[in-house]
Structure 1
Amino acid sequence: MPDVQVLVNDFVNLLKKRKIEGSQATAKQTAELLRSVISQQRLPHTNQATALLNAVRAVGEKIIAANPIELAVGNIVRRVLHIIREEDHSLATAAMAALGMSAGSDDEDDVERDDHPVLSAAAVAAAARSTLRPPSLQTLLEGVTILSPVPVPPTPSSGGESEGKSRSVEKSSKSRKLKHDVIEAVNELIQDITTCHEQIAEQAVELIHQNVVILTLGSSKTVLEFLCAAKDKKRSFKVFVAEGAPRYQGQLLAKELADRGLQTTVITDAATFALISRVNMVIVGAHAVMANGGVIAPVGLHMVALAAQRHAVPFVVLAGSHKMCPLYPHNPQVLLNEFRSPSELLDFGEFSDLLDYSTGAGSLDVVNPVFDYVPPNLVSLFITETGGHNSSYMYRLIADYYSANDLVMKQTPPTGC
């Protein structure tokens, strides 16, 4: 599939060069890439789900390794793998129910019909054992194979050639059915990623009350839409925006809020603790939500969370489901942070004599981390598309989106890219 390989290589290069940043952008483009992989994948006559799983997993390992800090990429890969398993399970369950009904009608009539072949006793017993097994992929595939009707030897009178053609058509239709269902589910996932801001913003009127003071840090589209939705519902409130050094994204957010008519005040990050006593609520976005309820967020938010806890101010995190990572912070696959260029902090011309390590004279180190880790005990509430949740409930919510078999993904560097 040369077309898919080109798409994968281009996406890997964009991730490596940091041309794609942000959880929503990476999640949406990852889902679109995997949809292309699935649509162009040629499935065998048997084990179609296994073939799809292997294809998606192979691509997922490459794109995850390209930029491990973008956890949304791995989240979407695991979501798509979970979708494939669910759709295959649904088809297997439907096939089992249909064959069970056929077997029951044949037993009642005690007459063998050409359009409903009688199942053997071994097949019925195997089907009974299969229903009692844990719902693994191997069990589902075995169930589909075992429950296939016993083929009738072709005879000149029974038209064996036509029966063989019909079985071939049936297998082909099942393959197309699985791909069609998976692609439809991935389309729904893409739609959910696109509209997650609107779905979260609909809950703003229930959380933001009249004449409250809200503090946020940096820039987040989810926070912007959330606050503007409350403003549209005739809520009157004030917003303190910490500027979010060194990139000063908070200044951009403050300008957008002011343009939409919200009372906005820009403060320095260092002034957060001094002004937190005047704040009724802290509302922030997140880069990723871990399985234990911890948050990977823009640098500086840990300081804000500590200040909010010290003054008993609710600390609310807005996060779409594509940001929910099924891994824990101590997992070796989780890269909690990355460091940007020191040029965002210092002008090299003024400090060149202190930063020149080639001559051994360098005595100044410049560290510019991008993210903070906020432990779950500092988070008061999570707001997602499905409503508000406590940090202790996040692991259960995340378990609905992923399969346990897909949590561990290899991150070998991609070759030929």
Structure 2
Amino acid sequence: MANVVMDQFLTDLQQDKFCSSYEIACKTINYLRHVISVARFSTAAELMEIIQKEGKKISSIQPSAYVVGNMVRRVLKIVREEYATLLGQTGESVGKDSLHRMLTAAEAGDDYSLSFSELKSTVMESIKEYIDEIEVSIHNVSAQAIEHIHSNEVVLTIGKSRTVEAFLKHAAKTRKFHVIVVEGAPNFEGHILAKSLAHSGIETTIITDSAIFAIMSRVNKVIIGTHSILANGGLKATVGSNLVALAAKRHAVPLIVLAAMYKLSPLHYAASTGKDATFARLGSPQSVLDYGTAGTDQLSDVEIHSPMFDYVPPELVTLFISNIGGNAPSYMYRLLSELYHPDDHAL
């Protein structure tokens, strides 16, 4: 039964059936947990090799889902940490890096060849704790809402984000404010968010994408979600987010990004060419131009692109709010070193 569930995960990932980064993160971490539980290994090096092999496989299935790679890297970091802890208990090393160890690591490298019978159980326990952390991440982000949203403010957002929705609803318990939702063409997910906020008693207005710049002068702050946070603090966000960010910058409106730490990726945007095969993901052109709106003769030489994501550079972002608190875009490099091991950045 477990194998059937795991195979179904790979199929759903390939067919892009997951509706949120949170769902992808939970499914991926549980998949890796199953892989570890049935794997046969005697050392941490063998276990990391197994995880890397599986990680490459599932990452190649859906390269644009950066969260998949993030989960693989996080599990590898957990293995390294648990191995270091077990190694420290034997008196041969310590769990924390010393200054000398940091300076000599590049020359000597880390040795994961010792065998510990407790390694699998400790790794499985740490992964369970990390799953619990992911599950409460949205709550931890939304709990900070009253520190950033004040009474009688006008807040603008775009599209639909579970984190933004929870954040605004939490603030509405003690604050009265107005939310402007950009509908987010061509998917129009903003209508779903606007309806949900209105049902919760929040004063909500929905606008078209073309009205963003005109309405921005009345906005106090912009709050958006994101698909992924890149290594430089830039965003891989829903299409239209860059337009919102540019308008906010022009009117000196702060842009706040809500994202749990599992969305932070060590990858960079290929700005030199402006193209990135894993970044520039296209949706069906049906949502942009219906097949029945014109004859085939008129459309025979037409290319229709429907991008799903925008790149938002870090200089347009004012603040990141995650499950561990608020940070500036320039602090993302520091957080990367805490979440992932440098050797795992390239799977």
Q: Is the 8 A contact 2:280 2:308 kept in 1?
A: yes
Q: Which amino acid aligns with 1:378?
A: L
Q: 2:330 aligns with which of 379, 392, 411?
A: 392
What is the one-letter code of the residue matched to 2:331?
Answer: Y
In structure 2, runs of 5+ residues without a counterpart are 95-99
Equivalent position of 1:69 in the other structure = 64
CA contact (8 A) 1:355 1:365 kept: no
1:206-225 alignment, distance < 5 Å: 206-225=147-166
Q: Distance in 2 between matches of 1:131 and 1:11?
A: 38
- The change in CA–CA distance for 1:93 and 1:133 in structure 2 (over 3 A counts) is farther
**Does the CA-based 8 Å contact 1:89-1:140 persist in structure 2?**
no
1:53–1:81: 8 Å Cα contact kept in structure 2?
yes
Name the SS for the 2:39 alignment partner: coil
Contact kept, 8 Å, 2:84 with 2:93, in 1: the verdict is: no
RMSD: 2.4
Q: What letter matches 2:62 in structure 1?
A: N
Q: 1:199 aligns to what?
A: 140
> Which position in structure 2 is the counterpart of 1:339?
282
CA displacement at 1:408 relative to structure 2: 1.0
SS in structure 2 at match of 1:32: helix
For 1:13, what is the secondary structure of its paired residue?
A: helix
Is residue 257 of structure 1 aligned with residue 197 of structure 2? Answer: yes
Aligned mates of 1:259, 1:363 — CA distance in 2? 45
User: Is 1:353 aligned to residue 296 of structure 2?
Assistant: yes
Picking from 295, 305, 319, the partner of 1:381 is 319
Alpha-carbon distance between aligned partners in 2 of 1:408 and 1:333, rounded to the nearest angstrom: 16
The answer for the alignment partner of 1:246 in structure 2 is 186
Q: Which runs of 5+ in 1 are unaligned?
A: 100-128, 145-170, 357-361, 410-417
Q: When the two structures are superposed, what TM-score results if normalisation uses the length of structure 2?
A: 0.92
The equivalent of 2:20 in structure 1 is 22
Is it true that 1:371 corresponds to 2:320 in the alignment? no
1: CA distance, partners of 2:235 / 2:135: 22
Alignment correspondent of 2:340: 402
- In the alignment, residue 187 of structure 1 is paired with which amino acid? K
Deviation at residue 190 of structure 1 after TM alignment:
1.2
Please name the residue that 2:210 is paired with: 270
2:87·2:93 contact (CA, 8 Å) conserved in 1? no
**Matches of 2:153 and 2:288 in 1, distance apart?**
34
Cα distance change, pair 354–181 in 1 and its aligned pair in 2 (3 A):
farther
Whole-angstrom distance in 2 between the partners of 1:132 and 1:315: 38
Structural mapping, 1:6-405, within 5 Å = 7-44=5-42, 48-96=43-91, 133-134=104-105, 139-141=110-112, 144=114, 174-175=116-117, 177-232=118-173, 234-330=174-270, 335-354=278-297, 362-405=300-343
Report if the CA contact (8 A) 1:75-1:322 is conserved. yes
Find the aligned partners of 1:375 and 1:83 in 2 and give their Cα distance.
30
- Letter paired with 2:293: E
Deviations 1:136-188 (A, max 9, x none): 9954446x5xxxxxxxxxxxxxxxxxxxxxxxxxx6xx32x111111111111
Deviations 1:89-112 (A, max 9, x none): 11111112699xxxxxxxxxxxxx
Number of residue pairs aligned between Structure 1 and Structure 2: 339
Tell me the CA shift for residue 42 of structure 1: 1.7
How many Å separate the matches in 2 of 1:191 and 1:249? 28
What is the distance in 2 between the residues matched to 1:188 and 1:136?
33
Distance 1:391 1:311 in 2: 20
Specify the alignment match of 2:97 in structure 1: none
Q: Structure 1: how far apart are the matches of 2:132 and 2:257?
A: 22
**Distance in 2 (alpha carbons) for counterparts of 1:327 and 1:245:** 27
Name the TM-score, length of structure 1 as normaliser. 0.77
Seq. identity, %: 41
Once the two structures are superposed, residues 358-404 of structure 1 have per-residue CA deviations (whole angstroms, 9 ceiling, x without a partner) of xxxx1222110000000000000000011110011111112110011
Greater Rg, structure 1 or structure 2? 1
Tell whether the 8 Å contact from 1:92 to 1:140 is kept in structure 2 after alignment: no
1:205/1:136 CA distance change after superposition, 3 Å: farther
**Cα deviations by residue, 1:322-375 (Å, 9 ceiling, x for unpaired):** 10001111399871121111111222122232466xxxxx12221100000000
Q: 1:236 to 1:94 in 2, by over 3 A?
A: same
Partner SS for 2:175: coil
SS of the residue 1:313 aligns to: coil
User: Per-residue deviation at 1:135?
Assistant: 8.4
Q: State the 1:130 CA deviation.
A: 8.7
Equivalent residue for 1:166? none
Contact 2:151 2:177 in 1 (8 A): yes
1:25 CA drift (Å): 0.6
Note closer, same or farther for the CA distance 1:244–1:137 as it changes in structure 2 (3 Å cut): farther
Bigger helix fraction: 1
